[in-house]
Every structure is written in structure tokens, then in C-alpha cells.
């Protein structure tokens, strides 16, 4: 049972990092970023590319790949999403769908469709770590868990205490009012996209080091989308219990039920949530109307 | 003005040269028209795009050297992305203009190609994807398969190998399949066969290809007490479950089918308890044919040369059949030629590929097992080729 718990925490951490990306973008700009799964894949490939370029220097390669992930989000907003201002929201959503397709094609074009493993290139290994209670996790399982904790802690602190974070919340709630108060909401939106891409990129890098890197990792984004909806699209805090519930059901269905259920369990959770509480665990009714 | 006229004249001369004198006799001759439907892009392309690349490199060399029987081989490639709907459109298009269709895609695309083959009476050769039962005796007259792996026979070999390795010790065996019909059916067959062979068999664990984490599946196998795990699935699941088992400290042995990635992955993981079996010799054996492939595909593929083996053998079969078919070569004639193909695989396989009127898989199939040998600090074969007669 402790192993089930440990595995659930790891899967939940991955989903939470991805889910945070959906929520950050939605909260700030009311756009559903359906390319979040592709930003995960891109993050993994950025780590791979940077490592191949600068060599096995993790102290340089990892921060550089993380920074490039964030920069990608910033650029996506400025180039693709910002010009959509004034158009219906669904147009921006369609842009993210197109972006996802283009990212996938671009990745195959540049990196080919082979499975890659950045970990040995970084000179790192991924040994099993025995935990109290007899469960075992890999070093990168623990890194995924730790990263999720740190990222969420940092995001909560940023949104709660930093001036830019407060501006981001304000712009998310009333963009017009925020701009009249002198908030550069375009910058704030771009920052939200950068943070979302950073979260997705981090998830991709960790997954690539822990499991594998291939162009089709975007499917993880779909599961995390269910997590974001279960938690409430406008609630960062909602992502945490939602990720735990979705991951828990997924792991339990493998362990005690039909493993094939694990593939659809996130969507079963979503369906159940839509029937019981359509605005999500910690989301608001008003946001549902906006969606 | 005069300069402009001179330039125009030069362009016409160059163009004229290209259109007439610059053409080799082979290019001027009518081509053998072949159609290939492959998962060149898309979610499943990793296992099939190398076959497409191998074909391109192989027949570029053939055409550059004068073609076959004085005629170039013109292959039309259709990217079906491993999607049945696209495959149906691709099959229709290829059947219109080809004497032979080749499929290098996932099993979900087989039905449309086979339907088209049946309707249009055009032979269909599988080269890269798992061989369908229609290629095995008694074979359908139009269906052929050069792929190294084939259902049922692979499991027969795998279980015999595990039994031999166990040396009379009772083995508890687990199975890791992917949630695709072929993988599930094969491993359910293996589970049944294992029981008949005296193994203690754990029910097949079916793994969704899109699983975020393979650990729960691995945990299920570990908790069930598997000494050996056998996996026959696309590479991602095969190796993903093994690595997850490793991460949770499992100490048993793992046997998987060795796809193109085997060589890279055995070297990456350096795990002596990971065994990979297959029908193709790894390039670590450094045979002359391996050096030849490496030289020919240089600069022409996005994959390493050792990914080409499967496609290369298939292309060799096609070349042999076209030579035998002569000119003009019709659909009937190429089907007849394929049905009597005997191909020396030059060491890429354990022996020749021989097809007969009712056996379009091969009369004899060969397997070899590889693993990482810590003593040699290299990939080593576990014994030589094992031969199985296909009846």
C-alpha cells in the first residue's frame, strides 16, 4: 500500500505541474491552452538539445533549458496570442490547437521520431531509493515530487505576495480595470504564459530523465487537462487535490482493477466532476459561465 | 540586351540538356511501379519510418546503378500516419498505379490494405510491421511478409529460451503487453503456452501505451512474484516496464522482442538481466553487410544505420522478386515471383528467406538473443541462432 501511495504522489506531481500551466494561462487570459502537453514535450527536447550543445554540464544545461522553456511561453504569447485580442476566445483556443500540431511536427522534423534519453548525456543516473515502509522510488521520481512542491510553493508565494503576482491576479479578474489602474496587462499575460511553459517544460524534463523522451508525450497533457478541470480551471489550489484524486484512481485501477481503466480514469473523474460540480473542486461558478 | 539573350539561350541549352542528353537510359525506361504505405510520421512512426528510409536509400542505389532488368524502380510513398482512415485512402491510391503494395505501418492499418489487395488483386508485402496470419501457411496468394517478427512463433521461441535459461528450475513468469490487439493476443497465447510448458504463469498485465508512469504495472508484476517477465509489444512499453521494474528494485530476468532500438538501449541500460531476442543480427556483430548498409545510408536517414535492418531485408526481397519477374512485370507475375523467392540475407538474418506457394512468412525462421555482458563490457549474444521450422 505504501508503494501505491508513493507512486500516486509521483504521478500526481507530474499532473500537478502540467495542470498548473493550464490554470495559470486560463486565470490570466481566459484562454484554454490546449498546447500544454506539447510544451511538456518541448521542455524535454530543449533539455536534450541544450545538453547536446553545451555538453554534460547539468549546472548550465538544466537552467538554460528551463529558461528557454519560459522564454518559449513568453514568445508564444507575444507572437500568437496577443494578436488575438479582440477576437472571440475560441479563436485563441484554436490557435493553441494549431500551435500544438506545429510543435509536434517541428519536434519530429528537428529531432526525428526516436526515443531519446537525456539522462546519460547529463552524466546522471536514476538509482532506486528505498523509502520507509518498504516502498521504492527512483531518484527522479523524488525529484519530480520535490519539484512540484517547490514550484507550487513558489507560485502561491508569487501570486500572494509579489507586486507582479498581485497584478497578475488583478489582470485575470478585471483586465480593463487593471489596465486603467496602470497595470501592463499584456506583460502580465505574457508572464503567465511563460510560467505555464516553464511548468510544462519542467514536467517534460523530469519525465524525459525519469522515463523517456519522444514526440508523442503530449498525450500526458490531455490527462493533466482533466486534472485542471477537476480542480477548477481558475483555481491553482484546486490542481493539488485534483491531481491526487486523478493519480490515485489511476494507480489504484492498475493495482487492484483493470489496468486498462488507468488510461481513461482521468476522464472518468472529469465526467463525474462535471455531473456533480461542473465548476470543479475549488473553481468558481462564475468562471464556468465564462467558459 | 545581347547579354540577356545570351543568358536566355544558355538557360535553354542547360534545360534542353537536362531534358534529353542528361537522362540516363534507366531513367528513360519505364519503371517498375511500387507503392508503399508507411507510418512515416505520427505517433507510431518511430518503428516504421526507418523502413521507409531504408527503402529510399536501397532503391536509390539500385536506380543509380541502372535499375533492375534495365528499368528503374519507382516507389510511391504514402504516409498513413498509422491511422486506418488514412491507410484506406493510401491503399486506394497506391493500388491504382502499382504492381505491388508494401505496408510498413501498425497493425491497425492492415485491414484497408488487405481489402484493397483483395479487391484489386494486387499483391501486398508487409515489411516492418508484424506479419499477419494470412502470410503463414496456408498463405493467402496475395499476402507476403518479410518482417523478422511473427506472432505465436516468437512466443514459442521466447518460452523455450526462458525454460532453457532456468535450467530445470521452476519459473514464475509474467507478461507485459500493450493495449493493442496484436500484443494482447500474442501474450495471452504465451500465457496459455507457458502453462502447458510447466511454467507458473501470472496473468498478462496490459499496459496503455500512453501510461504516465509504468511503475504501477511493474509493481503488479513484482508483487505477483515474477522471476521472469516476457514482453512482446511496441518498444516504449517493452522497455518502459523493464525500467520501472528496475526502479523498484526487481531482481528477475526480462525478455523482450528486440526492435530497432535494441542496440542503443542495451548499451544505455547495461543491465545483464535484460535479454532481447529477434530475427535480425545486431550491428554489433560488425558483418560486412552491416558495414555496407552503414556506408550506403550515410547522410540519407535521420536514424542510425542499425535501424535499417528490417527495411533493408524487405528491400532485398523486393529486388529479388523484381529480378525474377523480368519485364514487363505485372501484378500476377510479381505475386508468382514472390511466392518462389529465396533470398540470401547475407547474415542480416540467421538464414535465408524462402517463400513457397503456401508459406509467405518463411520456411524456417531464426532467432538470436542478446544482452549486456558486464564481463566484456559490451553487448553479447546468448548462444547462436536458433532455428524453427514454420509449418
The full set of domain ranges for chain A reads 2-121+133-290
Helix axes A89-111, A36-54, angle to 10 degrees: 30
Q: How far is A103 from chain B (nearest CA, A)?
A: 13
Instruction: Check residue B69 and give left, alpha or beta (phi > 0: left; psi -120 to 50: alpha).
Output: left
Write down the pLDDT at residue A174: 77
Residue B239 and residue A220: Cβ atoms within 8 Å? no
Is the separation of the CB atoms in B177 and B214 below 8 Å? Answer: no
Domain extents in chain B: 31-148+286-360, 153-278+368-389
Q: Does domain B153-278+368-389 have CATH number 3.40.50.2300?
A: yes
Write down the pLDDT at residue A287: 56
Q: How confident is the model at residue B5 (pLDDT cuts 50, 70, 90)?
A: very low
Give the H or E element holding residue A287: helix A285-290
With cell 505576495, the residue in question is A161
Helix axes A58-76, A185-210, angle to 10 degrees: 140
Is the separation of the CB atoms in B332 and B350 below 8 Å? Answer: no
Is the separation of the CB atoms in A101 and B38 below 8 Å? Answer: no
Q: What is residue B363's DSSP assignment?
A: S
With cell 528494485, the residue in question is B249
Task: List per-residue pLDDT tens for chain A, 291 residues long.
Answer: 788 899 999 999 999 999 999 999 998 888 899 999 999 999 999 999 999 888 778 889 999 999 999 999 999 999 998 898 778 888 889 999 999 999 998 998 888 878 888 998 888 888 889 888 888 899 999 999 999 999 999 999 999 999 989 988 888 777 778 777 888 888 999 999 999 999 999 999 999 999 889 888 898 999 999 999 999 998 999 999 999 999 999 999 888 888 888 888 999 999 999 999 999 999 887 655 544
Q: Which residues of B touch A142 (CB under 8 A)?
A: none
Chain B residues whose C-beta is within 8 A of a chain A C-beta are 41, 43, 45-46, 49, 179, 205-208, 210-217, 219-220, 235-236, 239-240, 243, 246-249, 261, 268, 302-303
Write down the pLDDT at residue B73: 97
Q: How far apart are CA A76 and CA A258, in angstroms?
A: 40
Q: Which residues of A touch B220 (CB under 8 A)?
A: 254-255, 259
Q: How confident is the model at residue B9 (pLDDT cuts 50, 70, 90)?
A: very low
Q: Which of B46, B205, B246 is the closest to A115 by Cβ?
A: B46
Helix axes B181-196, B153-166, angle to 10 degrees: 40
* Fold match, B31-148+286-360 / B153-278+368-389: yes
Residue A255 and residue B46: Cβ atoms within 8 Å? no
Q: How confident is the model at residue B19 (pLDDT cuts 50, 70, 90)?
A: very low
Write down the pLDDT at residue B23: 42
Q: Which residues of B touch A212 (CB under 8 A)?
A: 236, 239-240
Q: How confident is the model at residue B38 (pLDDT cuts 50, 70, 90)?
A: very high
Domain B31-148+286-360 falls in which CATH fold? Rossmann fold (3.40.50)
pLDDT digits (tens, 9 = 90+) for B57-67: 999 999 999 99
Q: How far apart are CA A40 and CA A43, in angstroms?
A: 5
Q: How far apart are CA A50 and CA A62, in angstroms?
A: 8
In A, minimum Cα distance to B262 occurs at A115
Q: How confident is the model at residue B309 (pLDDT cuts 50, 70, 90)?
A: very high
Give the H or E element holding residue B181: helix B181-196
Pick the CATH number of A2-121+133-290 from 2.40.50, 3.40.50, 1.10.260, 1.10.3470: 1.10.3470
List own/partner pairs for A244-251 with CB under 8 A and 24 or more apart: A244/A8, A244/A9, A244/A12, A245/A269, A246/A12, A246/A15, A247/A8, A247/A9, A247/A11, A247/A12, A247/A15, A248/A8, A248/A12, A250/A11, A250/B212, A250/B216, A251/A4, A251/A7, A251/A8, A251/A11, A251/B216
Q: How confident is the model at residue B28 (pLDDT cuts 50, 70, 90)?
A: low
Q: Which of B7-16, B196-205, B230-239 has the lowest mean pLDDT?
A: B7-16
Is the separation of the CB atoms in B202 and B172 below 8 Å? Answer: yes
Of all residues in chain B, the percent with pLDDT exceeding 90 is 81
Pick from B370, B328, B354, B360: which is nearest to B31 by CA?
A: B328
Stretch B285-300: mean pLDDT, rounded?
A: 95
For strands B364-373 and B386-389, give the pairing: antiparallel
Count CB neighbours of B223 within 10 A.
12
Angle at A91 between CA A90 and CA A92, to 5 degrees: 90
Q: How far apart are CA B74 and CA A29, in angstroms?
A: 52
Residue B247 and residue A138: Cβ atoms within 8 Å? yes
Torsion from C-alpha of A145, A146, A151, A152, nearest 10 degrees = 60
With cell 513568453, the residue in question is A74
Write down the pLDDT at residue A85: 79
Write down the pLDDT at residue A291: 47
Residue B24 in this model has a pLDDT that exceeds 60: no
3-state secondary structure B224-274: CCCCEEEECCCHHHHHHHHHHHHHCCCCCEEEEECCCCHHHHHHHHCCCCE
Q: Which residues of B touch A10 (CB under 8 A)?
A: 213, 215
Pick from B201, B247, B177, B55: which is nearest to A258 by CA?
A: B177
Alpha-carbon B90 to chain mean position: 20
Residue A105 and residue B41: Cβ atoms within 8 Å? yes
Q: How far apart are CA A237 and CA B109, in angstroms?
A: 44
pLDDT digits (tens, 9 = 90+) for B164-214: 999 989 999 999 999 888 899 999 999 999 999 999 999 999 998 878 789
Torsion from C-alpha of B188, B191, B194, B195, nearest 10 degrees = -110
Q: How confident is the model at residue B3 (pLDDT cuts 50, 70, 90)?
A: very low
Q: Which of B45, B206, B246 is the closest to A259 by Cβ?
A: B206
3-state secondary structure A128-175: EEECCCCCEEEHHHHHHHHHHHHHHHHHHHHHHHCHHHHHHHHHHHCH
User: pTM of the predicted model, to two decimals?
Assistant: 0.84
Amino acid at each position: 500500500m505504501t508503494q501505491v501511495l508513493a507512486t500516486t504522489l509521483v504521478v500526481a506531481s507530474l499532473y500537478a505541474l502540467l495542470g498548473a500551466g493550464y490554470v495559470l494561462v486560463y486565470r490570466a487570459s481566459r484562454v484554454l491552452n490546449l498546447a500544454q502537453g506539447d510544451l511538456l514535450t518541448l521542455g524535454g527536447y530543449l533539455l536534450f538539445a541544450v545538453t547536446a550543445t553545451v555538453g554534460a554540464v547539468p549546472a548550465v544545461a538544466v537552467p538554460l533549458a528551463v529558461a528557454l522553456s519560459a522564454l518559449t511561453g513568453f514568445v508564444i504569447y507575444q507572437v500568437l496570442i496577443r494578436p488575438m485580442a479582440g477576437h472571440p476566445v475560441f479563436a485563441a483556443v484554436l490557435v493553441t490547437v494549431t500551435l500544438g500540431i506545429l510543435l509536434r511536427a517541428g519536434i519530429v522534423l528537428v529531432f526525428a521520431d526516436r526515443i531519446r534519453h537525456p539522462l546519460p548525456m547529463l552524466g546522471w543516473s536514476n538509482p532506486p531509493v528505498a523509502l520507509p515502509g518498504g516502498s521504492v522510488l527512483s531518484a527522479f521520481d523524488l525529484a519530480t515530487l520535490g519539484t512540484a512542491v517547490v514550484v507550487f510553493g513558489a507560485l502561491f508565494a508569487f501570486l500572494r505576495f509579489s507586486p507582479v503576482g498581485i497584478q497578475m491576479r488583478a489582470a485575470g479578474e478585471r483586465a480593463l480595470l487593471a489596465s486603467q489602474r496602470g497595470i501592463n496587462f499584456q506583460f502580465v499575460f505574457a508572464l503567465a504564459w511563460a510560467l505555464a511553459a516553464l511548468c510544462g517544460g519542467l514536467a517534460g524534463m523530469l519525465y524525459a530523465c525519469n522515463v523517456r523522451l519522444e514526440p508523442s508525450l503530449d498525450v500526458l497533457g490531455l490527462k493533466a487537462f482533466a486534472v485542471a478541470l477537476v480542480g477548477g480551471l481558475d483555481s491553482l489550489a484546486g490542481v493539488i487535490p485534483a491531481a491526487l484524486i486523478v493519480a490515485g484512481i489511476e494507480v489504484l485501477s492498475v493495482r487492484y482493477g483493470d489496468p486498462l481503466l488507468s488510461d481513461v480514469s482521468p476522464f472518468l473523474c472529469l465526467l463525474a466532476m462535471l455531473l456533480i460540480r461542473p465548476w470543479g473542486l475549488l473553481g468558481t461558478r462564475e468562471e464556468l459561465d465564462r467558459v | 540586351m545581347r547579354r540577356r539573350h545570351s543568358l536566355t539561350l544558355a538557360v535553354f541549352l542547360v534545360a534542353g540538356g537536362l531534358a534529353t542528353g542528361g537522362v540516363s537510359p534507366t531513367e528513360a525506361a519505364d519503371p517498375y511501379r511500387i507503392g508503399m504505405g508507411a507510418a512515416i510520421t505520427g505517433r507510431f512512426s518511430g518503428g516504421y519510418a526507418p523502413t521507409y528510409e531504408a527503402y529510399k536509400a536501397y532503391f536509390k542505389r539500385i536506380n543509380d546503378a541502372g535499375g533492375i532488368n534495365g528499368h528503374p524502380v519507382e516507389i510511391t510513398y504514402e504516409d498513413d500516419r498509422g491511422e486506418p482512415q488514412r491507410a484506406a485512402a493510401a491503399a486506394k491510391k497506391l493500388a491504382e498505379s502499382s504492381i505491388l503494395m508494401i505496408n510498413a505501418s501498425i497493425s491497425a492499418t492492415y485491414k484497408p490494405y488487405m481489402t484493397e489487395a483483395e479487391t484489386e488483386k494486387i499483391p501486398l508485402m508487409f515489411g516492418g510491421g508484424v506479419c499477419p496470419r494470412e502470410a503463414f501457411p496456408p498463405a493467402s496468394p496475395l499476402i507476403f511478409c518479410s518482417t523478422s517478427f511473427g506472432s505465436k512463433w516468437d512466443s514459442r521461441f521466447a518460452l523455450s529460451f526462458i525454460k532453457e535459461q532456468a535450467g530445470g528450475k521452476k519459473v514464475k513468469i509474467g507478461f507485459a503487453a500493450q493495449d493493442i490487439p496484436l500484443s494482447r493476443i500474442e501474450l495471452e497465447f504465451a500465457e496459455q503456452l507457458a502453462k502447458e510448458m510447466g511454467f507458473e504463469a501470472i496473468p498478462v498485465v496490459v499496459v496503455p501505451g500512453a501510461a504516465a508512469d509504468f511503475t504501477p504495472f511493474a509493481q503488479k508484476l513484482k508483487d505477483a512474484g515474477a522471476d521472469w517477465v516476457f514482453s512482446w509489444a511496441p518498444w516504449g512499453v517493452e522497455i518502459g516496464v523493464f525500467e520501472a521494474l528496475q526502479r523498484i528494485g526487481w531482481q528477475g530476468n526480462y525478455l523482450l522482442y528486440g526492435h530497432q532500438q535494441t542496440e542503443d538501449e542495451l548499451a544505455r541500460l547495461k543491465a545483464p538481466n535484460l535479454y532481447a531476442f529477434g530475427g535480425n543480427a545486431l550491428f554489433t556483430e560488425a558483418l560486412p553487410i552491416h558495414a555496407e548498409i552503414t556506408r550506403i545510408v550515410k547522410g540519407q536517414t535521420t536514424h542510425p544505420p542499425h535501424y535499417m535492418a528490417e527495411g533493408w531485408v524487405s528491400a532485398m526481397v523486393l529486388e529479388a522478386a523484381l529480378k525474377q519477374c523480368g519485364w514487363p512485370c505485372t501484378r500476377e507475375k510479381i505475386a508468382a515471383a514472390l511466392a518462389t523467392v529465396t533470398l540470401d540475407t547475407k547474415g542480416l538474418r540467421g538464414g535465408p528467406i524462402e517463400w513457397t506457394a503456401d508459406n509467405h512468412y518463411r520456411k524456417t525462421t531464426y532467432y538470436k538473443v542478446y544482452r549486456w555482458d558486464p564481463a566484456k563490457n559490451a553487448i553479447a549474444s546468448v548462444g547462436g541462432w536458433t532455428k524453427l521450422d514454420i509449418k
